[in-house]
Amino acid sequence: MKRLLSIFLIAIFVTTGFAQRGTNIDGIVAVIGKTIIMRSDLEKHYKDYTSQFRTVEDPDEIYCSVLENLVYTKLMVNQAELDSIDISDEEVDYRLNSRISYFLQQTGGDVKYIENYFNKPMSEIKKDMREMMYEQALIEQVQSNITGNITITPSEVNLFASKISPDSMPIVSTSYQFGEIVKIPPVSDEEINDVKERLTNYRERVLRGEKFGALARLYSDDPGSASKGGDLGFVERGTLYPEFEAAAFNLKSGEISQVVKTQAGYHIIQMIERRGESIRIAHILIQPKPSTDEQVKAINYLDSVRKIIVDEKLSLEEAAKRFSEGSTKMNGGMVVNPYNSSLSFDRQSMNDATFATINKLIPGEFSECVPFVNDDGVMAYRLLYLKEKVSEHRANIFEDYDLIKNAALEQKKYEAMEKWIVEKVKVTNIKISEQYKYCPFVTKWQIP
């Protein structure tokens, strides 16, 4: 796995071209098919690696690692050409824009900082990075062609587990599987109209000269952006609510939208800056709140539901079908972990309030009614149900079959890739300069 992890890291970070500078070093260091790797290429990637990782490792070891990964990359690209694999301009653009957007978010939208870091203007950064994104997409497709159809049987999983000493198994944190019965208090038309009027008033105040950011800090219900004056940073198409996105991308620099409704509530949006298909925007969000009476009704409703569940000994699935209003109703009431799409949660994947309630329950028990904010930011109430709790332990085949199965499958894919590389080296024109024969390469490349 070490080599694949190294390859992945270098594909993601090294080839982005950080701190690239010109060099007078020249000479061929490797040939892969029709592709030549020059000494200047190796030097550039070496500098990129050391700049990115601030490494204090042995320089010779880094040179060897970087060279091998360059050879591997070119071998995969060569195979993509043989397989007539091509990547659409749209996909490359999407990858490129996502990477640039990530850099901008990390620097608070400071383009100058990025240009100074790369030591080149943004136009050149994008040009260099575009080629890398194209190669990365090709490599992923080649890998998928090799390992995409690989499956694993239960006997193979058991054999994989049997070869690992129990003391070498990883520690698995305490995990929970839980469900919910949800009640969403209705919001009155009067409240919705009030929210719209407030946002319209804020918009007019900005047009008269007040600072959008100041109003966002005071009044926005978005905890993630309110402290930043509503600033959402640079975003790409396809990452926002459709209604929000349609309004935002139609704005001109400095312009403020009319009131926009989404699942999260009501917004006004300010365009700060546009860079191609990336826009930097700010917003003020107000979420209509149910009245106190409606909240009391929701609490009383769930209290009565809990009594029915206990008296009639209903299962979570039955109770969710009859009483729940949440999206989990279609999943038998069970809550899905958004980080891994499983039903299992550890402490880190739950917010404090949910954990405080769940951790007090015993399996098979429903909680009292508790308030929460759903995925759309809407105030609601729910009964939580603990289905299963597995205490911290060393991984084993009985309690952690899926975890071990995934590890076994990845190992099988890794072995398939290693076998493919060995066979491909035999039939591909690969030559590496003799001066690198000291390198402890993972693969036996052809060195004169």
In a domain, 157, yes or no: no
pLDDT digits (tens, 9 = 90+) for 413-429: 999 999 999 999 989 98
Domain residue limits at 317: 172-186+291-394
Task: Provide the token pair at 336.
Answer: 């899905």
Task: Provide the token pair at 380.
Answer: 């609601």
In a domain, 215, yes or no: yes
Q: Which amino acid is at 427?
A: V
In a domain, 49, yes or no: yes
> 275: which residues sit within 8 A by CB, 6+ positions away?
111, 234
Residues 28, 52 share a domain: yes
In a domain, 81, yes or no: yes
Query: What is the share, in percent, of the chain residues with pLDDT greater than 90?
Result: 57
Q: Which amino acid is at 78?
A: N
d(CA 40, CA 21): 10
Residues 253, 132 share a domain: no
Which pLDDT score is estimated for 203? 96
For residue 73, which of 16, 22, 139, 150 has the smallest C-alpha distance? 139
* Beta pairing, strands 370-373 & 365-366: unpaired
Which pLDDT score is estimated for 11? 39
- Number of domains observed in the structure of the chain: 3
d(CA 361, CA 20): 56
In a domain, 7, yes or no: yes
Which pLDDT score is estimated for 50? 76
Residues 349, 250 share a domain: no
Residues 195, 337 share a domain: no
Residues 336, 235 share a domain: no
d(CA 415, CA 383): 47
In a domain, 165, yes or no: no
DSSP code for 15: G
Q: Are 238 and 95 in contact (CB under 8 A)?
A: no
DSSP code for 341: S
Task: Decide which of 234, 262, 286 is a domain's last residue.
Answer: 286
CATH number of the domain to which 381 belongs: 3.10.50.40
Report the 10 Å Cβ neighbour count for 178: 24
In a domain, 401, yes or no: no
- Predicted TM-score of the model (pTM): 0.64
Residues 233, 119 share a domain: no
d(CA 69, CA 37): 12
Which pLDDT score is estimated for 109? 63
Residues 126, 56 share a domain: yes
Task: Provide the token pair at 1.
Answer: 């796995």
Residues 312, 231 share a domain: no
3-state secondary structure of 369: coil
Task: Provide the token pair at 45.
Answer: 């990637």
> 292: which residues sit within 8 A by CB, 6+ positions away?
none
Task: Provide the token pair at 355.
Answer: 């954990």
Report the 10 Å Cβ neighbour count for 277: 16
Task: Decide which of 286, 304, 338 is a domain's last residue.
Answer: 286
3-state secondary structure of 203: helix
CATH number of the domain to which 71 belongs: 1.10.4030.10
Task: Decide which of 286, 302, 334 is a domain's last residue.
Answer: 286
Task: Provide the token pair at 281.
Answer: 């925007």
Of the chain, the end-to-end C-alpha distance in Å amounts to 28
For residue 318, which of 426, 215, 181, 118 has the smallest C-alpha distance? 181
- C-alpha torsion angle, residues 295, 299, 301, 303 (rounded to 10): 180
3-state secondary structure of 379: strand
pLDDT digits (tens, 9 = 90+) for 270-281: 999 887 777 889
In a domain, 159, yes or no: no
Residue 32 β-bridge partners: 35, 430
For residue 216, which of 263, 248, 256, 247 has the smallest C-alpha distance? 256
* Residues recorded for the chain: 448
In sequence order, which ranges of 221-332 are alpha helices (DSSP H)?
A: 223-226, 242-249, 292-312, 316-323
Report the 10 Å Cβ neighbour count for 117: 15
Residues 268, 297 share a domain: no
Residues 412, 281 share a domain: no
65-13-84 Cα angle (round to 5): 85
Residues 277, 253 share a domain: yes
In a 13 Å sphere around the CA of 41, the CA atoms on its Cβ side amount to 18
For residue 21, which of 43, 38, 5 has the smallest C-alpha distance? 43
Residues 131, 6 share a domain: yes
Q: Which residue has the tokens 């995409």?
A: 148
d(CA 347, CA 361): 15
Q: Which residues of the chain have pLDDT under 70?
A: 1-26, 51-57, 105-110, 446-448
Q: Are 366 and 350 in contact (CB under 8 A)?
A: no
